């Protein structure tokens, strides 16, 4: 069922308006008529079954009743990833949103190929925000991932996370663990972060700066920069969302 | 290290030639010189450390010694997927090759949006074969996935697989299982297949034809057609390749 996100809290039978781009989509793409139904995720991340009351400049809608669903990963996963060449970053964040990522933080990697000034970053963030919003609607999420630019590794603070997993094949000082063993003890409700390198990988300075964190293997094959986050999120979903017996 | 695939069996100290596109790549992209080393996967799927002996029209090479590695999934996974719009299919097979897929079989789905005549299929297969070969080299595989067109679901024979997993949310007759429970009892060395629908999903006729197989959920979010195979392969890698303790 079609889904939209709004910035207000709803309750059963409440009347509300949908405006601007979403109103345009409802009128001209979905061609909604009065009594057509759809889902709205409100400010409190509650999903409501709603119906169209009247279609005018805006769409007058009525919240019917809350929908019982839990589409969010039980662990909040932040993906640290530098910008990638071409459309790779666009589709990584689209897929990673489908796979349940909670946040994307774009850091300045020593070997980043793509570097943008503030004006370009602002425009890029607008496009990224549109991509993750649409992917959140399509994949039926209750949360639109947050996305922003952050500084280089040496200036990042990872204290907010119960674990930082560093996608790096490891070295003598910091042998890579399997993702399972690196995740052991992580509980539902935890916040964790994965940090991924650019196409050219992490610099020696970065691997030194990250060496106190768990370096992890994502299987025995070499994954491209844009593929690794999808593996990590799928593995988290597989191990925390789908019970071994049902 | 750079990797190439050749159609002959190698043994230590054997001299051999690399020709055509790979020779071009070695000369003009890698700019290899005598004594430069690289990996070659031979016809028996053994990886050898090799060195350049002489660069001429072709490249004269020497196999030094076999390399101990096991980059292949311990389960042979066939991905049944219809063609998808735009570049979605191209990048799905590229990513699924990185993630260890053994075979791609492109079936005619009732709701397939993309339909090609035999001439177009032949050209498309050439492109797909190039994509999976390059992804196999880049991800350091020992197997280049096989890819081909096959008929519609009603004419497919799944007897070769120890299990067929049907990516479908399920219905009263065939409630979807978690991928874990659908995989229970699958052992190393098994051949399994996943069948995925087109953008518009399976038709009722197809779900009926597939109803005797395990329908599986890939987490609680709705994944796009091109994302679902990547989740499935990541989950297989996570559960069969990375031990819980190491």
Q: Is B100 an 8 Å CB contact of chain A?
A: yes
CA distances from B222 to A56, A174, B57, B96, B231 (A): 31, 37, 52, 19, 12
- Window B:11-70, CB contacts with A under 8 Å: 69-70
Q: Provide the pLDDT for residue B243.
A: 62
Where exactly does CATH 3.40.1280.10 map onto chain B? Answer: 76-241
CA–CA separation, A144 and A101 (whole Å): 9
pLDDT higher than threshold 90 for residue B54: yes
Q: Is B85 an 8 Å CB contact of chain A?
A: no
Q: Provide the pLDDT for residue A20.
A: 92
The answer to whether B230 contacts A235, with C-beta atoms less than 8 Å apart, is: no
CA distances from A164 to A112, A159, A181, B132 (A): 21, 9, 13, 32
Question: Does residue B168 contact residue B176 with C-beta atoms inside 8 Å?
Answer: yes
| Residue with more model confidence, A172 or A68 | A68
pLDDT tens for each residue of B233-242: 999 999 999 6
Q: Which pair of structure tokens corresponds to residue A172?
A: 């003598």
Report which of B61, B57, B42 is spatially closest to residue B4, judged by C-alpha positions. Answer: B42
Q: Provide the pLDDT for residue B15.
A: 97
Listed in sequence order, the residues at least 6 apart from A147 whose beta carbon sits closer than 8 Å to its beta carbon are A93, A103, A104, A105, A106, A125, A128, A129, A132
Nearest 10 degrees: Cα torsion A98, A104, A106, A111 = -60
CA–CA separation, A16 and A8 (whole Å): 9
Question: Which residue bears the tokens 């010189």?
Answer: B33
| Percent of chain A surpassing pLDDT 90 | 88
pLDDT tens for each residue of B173-185: 778 998 989 999 9
Task: Give contacts of A89 with chain B, Cβ < 8 Å.
Answer: none
Beta bridge pairs of residue A106: A149
CA distances from B122 to B20, B43, B145, B215 (A): 21, 25, 17, 32
| Percent of chain B surpassing pLDDT 90 | 87
pLDDT higher than threshold 90 for residue B132: yes
CA distances from B51 to B3, B17, B55 (A): 12, 11, 11
Using alpha carbons only, how large is chain B's radius of gyration in Å? 20
pLDDT higher than threshold 80 for residue A222: yes
Task: Give contacts of A243 with chain B, Cβ < 8 Å.
Answer: 178, 180-181
| Percent of chain B surpassing pLDDT 70 | 98
Q: Provide the pLDDT for residue A225.
A: 96
A187 membership: H or E segment, kind and range? none
Looking at every residue in chain A, the average pLDDT score rounds to 94
pLDDT tens for each residue of A54-71: 999 999 999 999 999 999
Which residue does chain B place closest to A69, by CA atoms? B220
Split at pLDDT 50, 70, 90, the class of A51 is: very high
pLDDT higher than threshold 60 for residue A246: no
Q: What is the pTM of this model?
A: 0.94
Q: What is the mean pLDDT of residues B195-206?
A: 94
CA–CA separation, B231 and B12 (whole Å): 39
The answer to whether B219 contacts A238, with C-beta atoms less than 8 Å apart, is: yes
Where exactly does CATH 2.40.240.20 map onto chain B? Answer: 3-66
Q: Provide the pLDDT for residue B171.
A: 77
Report which of B77, B246, B90, B100 is spatially closest to residue B167, judged by C-alpha positions. Answer: B77
Structurally, what CATH architecture does the domain formed by A76-241 represent? 3-Layer(aba) Sandwich (3.40)
Q: Which of B69, B138, B242 sits opposite A180 (nearest CB)?
A: B242
Split at pLDDT 50, 70, 90, the class of A170 is: confident
Q: What is the mean pLDDT of residues B73-81?
A: 97
The answer to whether B70 contacts A220, with C-beta atoms less than 8 Å apart, is: yes
Q: Which of B139, B180, B243 sits opposite A223 (nearest CB)?
A: B139
Q: Is A235 an 8 Å CB contact of chain B?
A: yes
Q: Provide the pLDDT for residue B160.
A: 94
Task: Give contacts of B219 with chain A, Cβ < 8 Å.
Answer: 99-100, 234, 237-238, 241-242
Nearest CA to CA, how far is A126 from chain B (Å)? 23
Q: Provide the pLDDT for residue A175.
A: 84
CA–CA separation, A152 and A106 (whole Å): 9
Q: Is B141 an 8 Å CB contact of chain A?
A: yes
CA–CA separation, A192 and A75 (whole Å): 7
Q: Is A88 an 8 Å CB contact of chain B?
A: no
Q: Provide the pLDDT for residue B242.
A: 66
CA–CA separation, B45 and B70 (whole Å): 10
8-state DSSP, A142? S
Report which of A226, A194, A224 is spatially closest to residue A210, judged by C-alpha positions. Answer: A194
pLDDT tens for each residue of B159-174: 999 999 999 887 777 7
Structurally, what CATH architecture does the domain formed by A3-66 represent? Beta Barrel (2.40)
Q: What is the mean pLDDT of residues B95-118?
A: 96
pLDDT higher than threshold 60 for residue B16: yes
Split at pLDDT 50, 70, 90, the class of B73 is: very high
The three-state (H, E, C) secondary structure of chain B, written as one string: CCEEECCCCCCCCCEEEECHHHHHHHHHHCCCCCCCEEEEECCCCCEEEEEEEEECCCEEEEEEEECCCCCCCCCEEEEECCCCCCCHHHHHHHHHHHCCCCEEEECCCCCCCCCCCHHHHHHHHHHHHHHHHHHHHHCCCCCCCEEEECCCHHHCCCCCCCEEEEECCECCCCECEEHHHHHCCCCCCCEEEEECCCCCCCCHHHHHHCCCCEEEECCCCCCCCCCHHHHHHHHHHHHHHCCCCC
pLDDT higher than threshold 60 for residue A195: yes
Beta bridge pairs of residue B54: B60
Q: Provide the pLDDT for residue A242.
A: 66
Which residue does chain B place closest to A222, by CA atoms? B139
């Amino acid at each position: 069922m079609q889904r939209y996100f709004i910035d207000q809290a709803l309750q059963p039978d409440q009347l509300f308006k949908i405006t601007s781009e979403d109103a345009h989509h409802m009128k001209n793409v979905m061609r909604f008529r009065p009594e057509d139904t759809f889902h709205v995720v409100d400010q409190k991340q509650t999903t409501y079954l709603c119906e169209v009351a009247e279609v005018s400049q805006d769409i007058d809608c009525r919240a019917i009743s809350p929908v019982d669903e839990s589409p969010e990963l039980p662990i909040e996963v932040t993906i640290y990833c530098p910008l990638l060449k071409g459309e790779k970053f666009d589709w990584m964040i689209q897929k990673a949103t489908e796979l349940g990522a909670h946040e994307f933080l774009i850091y300045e990697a020593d070997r980043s190929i793509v570097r943008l000034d503030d004006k370009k970053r602002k425009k890029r963030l607008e496009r990224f925000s549109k991509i993750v919003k649409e992917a959140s609607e399509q994949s039926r999420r209750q949360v639109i991932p947050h996305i922003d630019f952050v500084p280089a590794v040496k200036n990042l603070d990872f204290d907010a996370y119960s674990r930082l997993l560093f996608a790096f094949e490891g070295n003598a000082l910091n042998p890579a663990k399997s993702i399972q063993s690196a995740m052991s003890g992580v509980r539902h409700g935890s916040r964790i972060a994965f940090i991924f390198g650019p196409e050219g990988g992490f610099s020696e300075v970065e691997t030194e700066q990250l060496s106190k964190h768990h370096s992890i293997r994502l299987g025995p094959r070499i994954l491209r920069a844009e593929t690794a986050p999808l593996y990590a999120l799928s593995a988290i979903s597989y191990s925390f969302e789908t019970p071994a017996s049902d």
